[in-house]
Amino acid sequence: MNQVKTYILMALLTILLVWVGSLLGGRTGAIFAFIFAAVMNFSVYWFSDRIILKMYRAQEVTEAETPGLHRVVRELAQRGRLPMPKVYIIQNEAPNAFATGRNPQHAAVAVTTGIMKLLNEDELKGVLAHELSHIRHRDILIGTIAATIAGAISFIATMARWSAIFGGFGDDKEGGGMAHLIAVLVLTTLASFAAILIQLAISRSREYHADEGGGKLAGNPLYLASALAKLDAGAKRIPMQVNPSTAHMLIVNPLSGRGVQKLFSTHPPIEERIRRLKAMAAR
Would you name the residues annotated as active-site residues? 131
Nearest CA-CA partner of 152 in 39, 273, 265: 39
Helix-helix angle 176-218:221-237, to 10 degrees: 120
Q: Report angle CA 48, 50, 52 to the nearest 5 degrees.
A: 65
Whole-angstrom Cα distance, residue 138 to residue 15? Answer: 23
Phi, then psi, of 238 in degrees rounded to 5: -125, 90
Residues 102, 48 contacting (CB under 8 angstroms):
yes
Residues in CB range of 132: below 8 A, 6 or more apart: 73, 76, 77, 80, 82, 85, 99, 109, 214, 217
8 A C-beta contact, residue 135 and residue 128: no
Interatomic CA distance for residues 134 and 140, integer angstroms: 7
Distance between CA atoms of 63 and 137, rounded to whole angstroms?
A: 26
- Counts of helices then strands in the chain (DSSP H, E): 10, 4
Give the three-class secondary structure for 172.
Answer: coil
The strand pairing partners of 110, in sequence order, are 88, 98
